[in-house]
Structure formats: C-alpha cells, structure tokens
Chains A and B, each alone.
Chain A
Amino acid sequence: MVWADARRYARVAFRELSFQAVYAFRQGNVLPTESARSLVPKAERRVVQSKLLVSAVLGLIAVGGAFFVASAKTVPFVAAPLTPAVIDGGVVTGLLALDAAFLWWNGLQVLPTLLSSAVVPVLEPLPIDDETRRQTAFLVYLRLFDLPVATVVVVTPVAIGWALGPTAGLSVLPGVVSAVVFALALSLVTGRFFVRRIQGMRGGGGRSVVRWAYLLLWLLPSFAILGFLTAATEFLAVLGSVAADGPALARDLLFSVYPVPFGMLTGVAARGFAQAGLSAWGAVGLLLVATAYVLLTAWTGVWLYGEVGELGHLPVARTAAGPLPTYRLRPRSPTWAVVERDLRVASRTPGYAFLLLLPLLDALALGLLTVADAPSRSAASGLALGAVTVAALLATFFGPAFFAIEVLAYSYGRTLPLSDRAVVGGKVILVAGVYLSASAIVLLLASIRVSDAPLFLGFAAAELPAVVAASCLEIGWLFRTARRRGFPIANLYSGAWTAVLVAIPGLIVAGVPLVVSRLVGIEAMALVAVIELGLCLPFAFWGTT
C-alpha cells in the first residue's frame, strides 16, 4: 500500500525537481516573463527531451558495440592474437564500463540539483511515515535515470543477442544490471562525499589546492573508466595475450576485475570457453566471480535503497574554524573576476570540476601512453600530436557547459554592472586555458620521449586560435539563446539539446584546422585557424554591451 502513496508523492516531487532543474529558482534564477502556467509542462518536456538524448547516446553505444562484434574478425592497431571470444568479451566489457561511466556522469550532473531542490526535505514536516518517505526518495532518485537505465537494460541485451545469438544476449543482462546499480551507487557516494567534504570547506590559506586534490581523488574512478576506454585497443591487446598464453595468475586476476568477468561471460556464452582461453575449471571460476559480483550488486541495491532515503538530511560539514580572516580582497578586472569565480565555483562543484579536469586527465593519460607505449619515436610523435588534438576537441566540447555557472545566483548576478563582453570573454579565456593546460601536460610528457619541441609548440600554438574561435562561436550562441529565452542554460536537463547543438559547429571549427594540418601542413593550419578566429570573434561580441 505504501508504495502507491510513495509513487504519488514521487510524481509531485519529480515535477518540482524538473521545474527546479530547468528554471533553478532555488539557485537564484529569475522567472521568465511568460505565463507561469506554461512553465511546469515546459520543464517536464525539457527533462524528458534531455533524458531521451542521454538514452539515444547509450542506445547508439550498445548498437555500435553489437555491430562491431558482429563484423570484426580483427581489431585495428592490435597485434596480439585475438580470438572471437576475446573480442566479444573485450567489447562487452567496454560497453559495460562505458554504460557505468555514462550513467555515473549523468548522476554527477543532476545530483546537485536534487540536493538543492530540497524536494525530499519538503516532505519532512508532513505526516508521512519514514518508510513511505524513504520509498518516495528512492523513486525520485530512480526517475533521474529512468529512460537511460531502461535503454541500457533493454537495448544492450537485444543488440548483443542480435549480433551473437540469444544466449549471449541473455548473458549480458546481469552485467548490465550491475553496471546500472553500481553507477547509481557511485553517483550517490560521490555526491555525498561532495556535500560532506568539499562543499563546506573553508576558503583562503591555500585550501583551494586541497579542494582540487579532493575533487581529483573523487573523480579518479570515473576517469579510470574513461581512461580505460581511451586505451581500449591496449586493453584488448592485454586481454588477448593474457587469454592466449599469459600466466594463469595474471589471467585469473584480470578476469576478476569488474566488469571483465561479465564481458568474458558473454564471450564464453557466444563462442565457448575454449576460445576464451579458459579450461572447464576456469569457466567455473569465471562464473563464480560473476556470481559474486551479482551478489555484490544485490547488496549494493539494498544499500542504495537505504541511503537514498537519507539524502535530504545531509548537513554540509563545516571545517574547523581557522585563524581570524585578513579581509584582504584582491579584485580582478570584470573578465578575470568571471574566470576566478568560475574556477572557485568549480572547485566546490563536482559537475563543473569534472568538465575542467576531464580534458586535463585525458591529456595526462594520453601523455603517459606516449611515454610508455609508443613503439617508435615517430609513433610517439603522432600520439602526442593526437593527444593535443583530443585536448582541443575536449576543451571545445565541454567548454560551453561552463556557461551554466551563469545560472547560479542569476537574479543577483544580473543586478551587477557586469558587461556581456566580460562574461563571454571570461568563458572563452577559461576554455582556452583548459586547452593550453592540457596541451602543456601532453607536451611535457612527450618531451621525455620525443625531442621535437618546435613541432609540438607550433602545432599547439597553431590550433589555439581555432579553439578560441570555436569557443567564441559556442559561447556567443549560448549567450544569445539565454538572453532570448530570458534564462541561462542551466544544466544537463535544461540545456542538453542546446549544448549539443552548439557543440557541433564548435567541434567543426576546432576540427577543420586539424584536418588541414594533415592534408597540407602546419602553416596552412595556422592560417585557417586565424581566419576562423577573425570570423567567430565578431560573432561572439557583436551586439553585446
């Protein structure tokens, strides 16, 4: 009976959450000058649209993986012997890791909204028993992920079943369910860690460094999963060589690391255990490990149910009082004040920190690969240039999301004499800074292996105007959209469509000079990038105050 009540309360609470997610009044946004009656349905529509977008990406990943295992006999760039079972197992492992990473990322983006919307604590003073309130909180939490989770759980087994047969399709199901449950639990754990350890940390006295270190530590598992995908071919090579002729201990260890056992289970289901390099006992061992993970998934699910109910009661942990403040203010120019504010907000807001740190850590991962794995100097050189390319594209892709910071305290921020140019300029500087920092990481690491510093510096410098141009285009477009609609692009739920739409031309602008460098050379690349900048810069600042 109580579940029926909980469903009813959750429906109302989620409607409020959608409203808050899109219009963010509790974070200081202002009411658009349109009929208030239309706002709630519009917010609900937007949330569904954004969930559909995330679901479409997850569905495409599953279908893409299925096409790959259906057609691939070999894997490009992998010299190690790969049996079809290992390819299947490796690809399904990658799919599960990507699903978990994507859902976790989704959770990171929307959890702060769930916390700030206070839809769960609002129920507290009402005469609702603890169990119903807990169920309501759980249902609200699940609804954050419902369409993406349904997509993963349905599309992945169906797609793999189409590619490898019904048994293989069914064998994916436990892995998919565990990826979903672990992702939801990780979202909760990291969200709670954020509230307890980062949000309440005092400022000043070099504590921002500690905060960034905390954030790095907190985001590391997420980067590990993404890094694993970055190094997917290397992983398949290791999997292939260990399965073929590796020591038994190494194979057992590798096959016990989540989510490898679930991936290999599909490989075994599709091709038989001999092709996976397993004996009959090895297959039993794999089954046992997978069963252990299924049990862990069940336990995590129960734990999640218990913990989500307490989400609304998390107090912000204040750090111990420090010495008396010095009151020394160091005001910057308006543009730099925007940059500094955004960095400070990001240092206490995981969603934004993620956007900032992802290109940097990806650069670190690719730089380390350049040092450790490239078989020759020319290959290392190619990898390093590729890493700078990735840094440019990532900075361009994630940069516009920093515009979302403008929604915070928007109703107050708009009362300050802060010009549009300062806002746009600050965001562009931030994106350029991310690109330059990521490039610097790659170049520093690459210099250990390759001594062609002028080439790298020339390449990174030639791409810089294109990154700035792309950023000008994206931020300028976002800015106009925000002004037209009367509210800024707030978050994943409110602005996903716009952010993706904006990122497409941005990626093209950042990508064209990279293509030109391959076809013609760095000089032509630099010329194209400067021309792009000449075109996009006026667009960003035209008509602004």
Chain B
Amino acid sequence: MAPEPAPPLPLAIDGLTIDYGERRAVDRLSLQVRPGEVYGLLGSNGAGKSSTIKSIVGVVRPTAGSVRVLGIDAVRNGLAAKSSIGYVPETSLLYEALTPREFLEFVAGVRRLAPAVASQRARSYATAFRLESEFEEPIVSLSNGTRQKVLLIAAFLHQPRLLVLDEPLNGLDPRSVRLVKDLLRRFVQTGGRGILFSTHTMEVAEELCHRVGILDRGVLRGEGSVEELRGRVARGDATLEEIFLRLTREDEGLSDTVASLAEP
C-alpha cells in the first residue's frame, strides 16, 4: 500500500524578492510554515517582515519568487489562496464607516459563509473578546485595541488553514493577549494548520513560536527553534533578544550609542 501523501504545507515561500522602485525590501527569501507550527518572523524596523506578509495575502506583487499557500500559487491563483488565509494586518485600518457587525457581515459574505455559521462564530468570538457594547458602534469610534479584536474575529471567522498575523497583539489588554495566545496554540493543534506570526516582542515569540526566522534588511539571517538558534550564537542561556541582536549584528556599538545619548 502506497504511503499517504504528505499534507500540503500551510505556507511555502521560495526565492521571494520584493522591490519598491530601486529599493529592495525582500531579497530571495525562502521559508516554510509546517502543519501544526507557529512560525515567528522577527526583524528590525524595515527588515521586510510586512512586505513579506503583504505578498502572502496578495496586497503586494512579488518581483520574483513564489508563494504557495496549502500548495496553491498565491500569486497566480490569489482568490483560492486568500480563501484559506486569515489575516490580521499591522495597522488596524478597516472600513471605518461600518460597525463590527456590518464589517463581519461583509467579510462573511465575501467568504460565502452560511448565515447560521457566521452568526454563531461571531457570537462566540465577540463574547470571548467582550465586544458586546461595541458590536453596533461604528469602527471609527473604537479604540485601537477594539479594532484589533474585530480584525482577529474576522481572521478566525471562516476557520482558515493558515493564519498570517502581523503584530496581532498590538493594543490588546492583558486578558485579550492571553486569550489570543491560547486561541493560537489551540488553532495549530488540529487540521494541519499553521501560523505565520510577525512581532517585535521577543518574549511573545519565545513563548509562542515553534520556530523563528530572523529577517535583516530583507535577508533571512537565521532560522530554527530558539534552542537551535542558541546553538548558532554559542550561548546556551541566551534570550531570543540576545540571539536576535547577535544575528542581526545590531548589538555592535549599542553600549557606545547609549553612552553617547547620556545627558551631560
């Protein structure tokens, strides 16, 4: 009996290059998110994290390379790929004139969800995020944290196979942070799902991610579990922050910089 084919990877990026005019934002990036995995994408400001994410979700067209979501070419067959993705952007820019209910109704319509299913999921997540009093308020009047909750609900609404999260904990209160972390852990436990998680917060990445990739000026400087990366920097007790700074060489001259900023 032939062995069962391996389930498709939630995300496979190969040789991804993104140029903005003459500026190269991402340079021949290759990475994979495996089934059941939370993959943390780390990098300094302008390292190319958001550009990478935007190319996965179809906002930015890559200059070269391929992006496959569950085996589907996300550049050539964007609609099919997007159907499997739940996305939380870096900035919570939504249809400000809509209320969360109207926004989720629009998203559910585009994703062709049945009314009963959409309603039940909206109720569950809105209750979990304690959105009752804001559910009928226009998004323009909501705080950043509340908008983030609406985006998270929209990302979970169709039960996607791949979650692409760009700083998803921005602006959330401690209870919601805990809730999201637990939801994400549970999300990858079944169904061959995966998460690509971009963050600047090293503690969160260390706590949540099975593997991390460290992006620096568009190039992947290191990849693996935190343990594996500790081995690369030859320090068994290094924190992820220290690993990050070492691999991106951003620790060089840092103490001198701090000293130069000291008030006379």
Contacts and interface: CB of A to CB of B under 8 A. Distances in A.
A232 B119 CA distance: 53
B79 A331 contact: no
Contacts of B122: 327, 329
B109 A419 contact: no
B101 A203 contact: yes
A200 B93 contact: no
A200 B138 contact: yes
B104 interface: yes
A415 B94 contact: no
A30 B83 CA distance: 21
A38 B109 contact: no
Contacts, number: 163
B107 interface: yes
Interface string B10-39: 000000001111110000000000000000
Interface in A519-545: 545
B98 A412 contact: no
Contacts of B19: 33
B102 A415 contact: no
A412 B140 contact: no
Given A329-B101, A341-B95, A418 B126 contact: no
Contact of A204 (B79, B99, B119): B99
Contacts of A344: 97-98, 102
Interface stretch (A121-129, A316-324, A366-374): A316-324
B110 interface: yes
B89 interface: yes
Interface in B198-224: none
Chain A interface SS verdict (over half): loop
Interface stretch (A75-83, A176-184, A332-340, A449-457): A332-340
A204 B134 CA distance: 12
B150 to A, nearest CB: 11
Nearest to A422: B110
Contacts of B108: 329, 331
A306 interface: no
Contact of A203 (B61, B87, B99): B99
B123 interface: yes
Interface in A300-354: 316, 318, 321-322, 324-325, 327-334, 336-337, 340-341, 344-345, 347-349
B119 A329 contact: yes
A245 interface: no
Interface of B: 18-23, 54, 57-61, 78-80, 82-83, 85, 87, 89, 93-99, 101-102, 104-115, 118-119, 122-123, 126, 132-133, 135-138, 140-141, 151
Given A344-B102, A411-B89, 10 more contacts: A26-B93, A27-B96, A34-B20, A37-B21, A204-B101, A327-B135, A331-B106, A341-B102, A414-B57, A419-B79
6 contacts: A36-B21, A199-B140, A203-B138, A328-B115, A331-B111, A412-B151
Interface of A: 26-28, 30-31, 33-38, 116, 199-205, 316, 318, 321-322, 324-325, 327-334, 336-337, 340-341, 344-345, 347-349, 408-409, 411-412, 414-419, 422, 545
Nearest 6 Cβ contacts at the A-B interface? A35-B21, A337-B109, A28-B93, A203-B99, A331-B108, A327-B123
